[in-house]
């Protein structure tokens, strides 16, 4: 895949959107762009943007770890999700150069969470039917309130 100026402009727009939200990760599919692109920044001062173009994840072992997750697509909800603890990531950077990482902790969780978006999956899909149903009802109630005339 060629990384051109159009893609780099998209990356800049995605980073701006993510920082404004504020969030620590954003997948292109969350802004209705159907490309396999992710931006992330786990730093406290928004100084370490990470770009993942065409990311691929390989799970390295069966160990999992629970993490509290939230999402810009499901605002205000946080739930514990079990994910693989050790992964290998292959992706292209902003210039189109391939690179590999073996991220841990929050970075590993965030990468898996964002790749899930690219694959049409949300963190709530990992929850029990009961918890998903509860969140859905709360979101519907929230939307009804927003739709009411002021």
Active site residue 69: no
* Catalytic choice (58, 114, 140, 148): 114
In three-state form (DSSP H/G/I as H, E/B as E, the rest C), the secondary structure along the chain is CCCCHHHHHHHHHHHHHHHHCCCCEEEHHHHCCCCCEEEECCCCCCCCCEEEEEEEEEECCCCEEEEEEEECCEEEEEEEEEEECCEEEEEECCCCCEEEECCCHHHHHHHHHHHHHHCCCCHHHHCCHHHHHHHHHHHHHHHHHHHCCC
Catalytic site positions: 114
């Amino acid at each position: 895949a060629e990384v051109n100026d159009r893609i780099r402009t998209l990356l800049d727009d995605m980073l701006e959107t993510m920082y404004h939200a504020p969030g620590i990760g954003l997948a292109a599919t969350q802004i209705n762009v159907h490309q396999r692109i992710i931006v992330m920044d786990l730093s406290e001062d928004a100084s370490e943007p990470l770009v993942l173009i065409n990311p691929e994840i390989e799970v390295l072992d069966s160990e999992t770890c629970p993490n509290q997750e939230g999402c810009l697509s499901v605002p205000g909800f946080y739930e514990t999700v079990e994910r693989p603890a050790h992964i290998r990531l292959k992706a292209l950077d902003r210039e189109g150069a391939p690179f590999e990482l073996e991220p841990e902790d929050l970075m590993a969780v965030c990468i898996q969470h964002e790749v899930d978006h690219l694959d049409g999956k949300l963190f709530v899909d990992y929850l029990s039917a009961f918890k998903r149903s509860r969140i859905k009802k709360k979101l519907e109630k929230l939307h009804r309130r927003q739709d009411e005339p002021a």
